[in-house]
Amino acid sequence: MGEAASQLPQTGLAFDPDWWRGAVIYQIYPRSYQDSNGDGIGDLRGIVERLPYIASLGVDAIWISPFFTSPMKDFGYDVSDYCDVDPMFGTLADFDAVIETAHALGVRVMIDLVLSHTSDQHPWFVESRANRTNDRANWYVWADPKPDGTPPNNWLSIFGGSAWQWDARREQYYLHNFLTSQPDLNFHEPDVQDTMLDVARFWLDRGTDGFRLDTINFYFHDSELRDNPPLAPELRNSNIAPSVNPYNHQIHKYDRNRPENLDLLRRLRAVMQPYGAAAVGEVGDAQHGLELLGEYTRGDDLMQMCYAFEFLAAVPPTSQRIVEVLERLDAVAAEGWACWAFSNHDCVRHVSRWNLSPAAQRMFVTLMMSLRGSACIYQGEELGLPEADVAFEDLQDPYGIEFWPEFKGRDGCRTPMVWTPDNQNGGFSDVRPWLPVPSEHLSLSVAAQEKDPAALLHHYRRVLAFRRAHPALTKGDHTGLSADGDVIHFTRELDGERLFCAFNVSDTPSDFPAPEGKWETIGAELGSAQISADGQLHLGPWQVWIARENG
């Protein structure tokens, strides 16, 4: 696992309710990280085995995608027991081992809480659908049909078709924003809120340090079930759903983003507070994601941080686009806190999505680690893994199967992590994995890159160490944001440390006048440029300049 991993100190963790501010979080998709028992599926024990490697990167925390008991129709995002581990991933004792090992290595553990919906096999739903009078009859969103038998309104599912499914037992429709096997919980019901807060307490009591909150803006629906208005074609984008999905044809005013959400988030924050725990919310909204980010993270009684989809989109991140996003964030979320990500388990890996060269990959991670906010790295991103081309016959994702071939789903970013180049499974498993390992990934494996001083993996380690060494980058203010041609630049400042950061977001050289004042170039290990004798910065393709003010 590399020399750096073997030399890590056993630091442990002190209580720090502010640990999340500026933290770097490493996302693990457990099915695809490490198989420890030879069934072709990653598991919690596999994560334990690989935690020294993760700690060697210099991250502050891990986020583990769902490992709860589930029929796996949506690979764990359809929960049938919130307080147990699915046998394919191990046991509660294995989870405890993750906590213990991570904390010994100085790494915090966040888990993925899927609060908005359950599996249709959850005992709560089984009871709720039985009749209209049982104790949990109102735990899900049920509605009578229109007089002609059609669904109660025009709401659509992200996975295609109506968001309403007919149930013959109750002779009513139930709401599902995702698969029909993922019925939405009714958060207008107080018992539902109380129960889900108890779920959070259960995991906090086991040592969990925080949560990634799936679809944080989907918890509440409009109690009047009003129709969503249409969205003008010129305003549609595919940040949340693929362009072939009619979900993009609506303004999702009534099926999500409801004002009642704020009180629930305040209750959740109060539950987390005594534990020093933190949450990062996934804001799924194509038109108002940054506004919701600001709304949900404002003050000290809501969520600590959220991420939107601006940099998870297919839109190329030019200097102008990056400044546009950051200026918009400053305008609508000045009191909030963003968590930046370029890749995750739901979107095409950014190396492929933006067609990045190795130099561009280095520049973008350096940029992300210089932005005000926290940051998420998705497993394999540090290796520069491209999106895998998964054949239709190997697809597992119901989303991709539904919209193939115009949209190939999410399996291409979920293929197994590659640890070694010497077998077709990349050291992930001794047997055929649940998704095939692409042959082009093998040369990018951890073992191969550990041996190459010029490999991307080492750049990730260097830039994370640089960020940690300069508190202005983790928690400082950011000012002076601007784009000059292909160069984006801004200043970060905290407790007397003032850094100037410039990034050439292009594959052509750019000249840029050095800022006034006395500046010392730092970050040579990151490829930082030098000021020339004429006071100009000559930034090569994808080059950065980071400098510290002296005097």
Rounded Cα–Cα distance for residues 306 and 24 (Å): 13
Which sign does the torsion angle of CA 53, 59, 60, 63 carry? negative
b/e 294-330 (16+ beta carbons within 10 angstroms → b): bbbbbeeebbbbbbbbbbbbeeebebebbbebbebbe
Rounded Cα–Cα distance for residues 549 and 98 (Å): 42
Helix (H) or strand (E) holding 339: strand 339-341
Contact call for residues 173 and 142 (beta carbons, < 8 A): yes
Rounded Cα–Cα distance for residues 493 and 549 (Å): 10
Rounded Cα–Cα distance for residues 98 and 531 (Å): 47
Please choose, from the candidates 154, 155, 162, 196, the residue with its C-alpha nearest in 3D space to the C-alpha of residue 179.
162
Count the Cβ atoms, other than its own, within 10 Å of residue 169: 10
- Phi, psi angles (nearest 5°) of residue 498: -125, 120
Rounded Cα–Cα distance for residues 331 and 288 (Å): 13
Assign 3-state DSSP to the chain and report helix, strand, coil percentages, each to 5: 30, 20, 50
Q: Is 484 a catalytic residue?
A: no
Please choose, from the candidates 354, 424, 346, 339, the residue with its C-alpha nearest in 3D space to the C-alpha of residue 384.
354
- Identify the burial level of 205 via C-beta atoms within 10 angstroms of its C-beta, where 0-12 means exposed, 13-18 middle and 19 or more buried: exposed
Q: Give every strand in the sheet of 477-484, ordered side by side.
A: 477-484, 487-494, 497-504, 544-549, 519-522
Rounded Cα–Cα distance for residues 325 and 342 (Å): 13
First to last CA, the chain: 43
Helix (H) or strand (E) holding 125: helix 123-128
Please choose, from the candidates 131, 106, 123, the residue with its C-alpha nearest in 3D space to the C-alpha of residue 56.
106
Rounded Cα–Cα distance for residues 244 and 38 (Å): 38
Q: Is 214 a catalytic residue?
A: yes
Please choose, from the candidates 323, 340, 274, 272, the residue with its C-alpha nearest in 3D space to the C-alpha of residue 302.
272
Identified catalytic residue from 35, 78, 184, 282: 282
Identified catalytic residue from 35, 86, 214, 411: 214
Residue whose token pair is 């583990």: 64
Q: Annotated active-site positions, please?
A: 214, 282
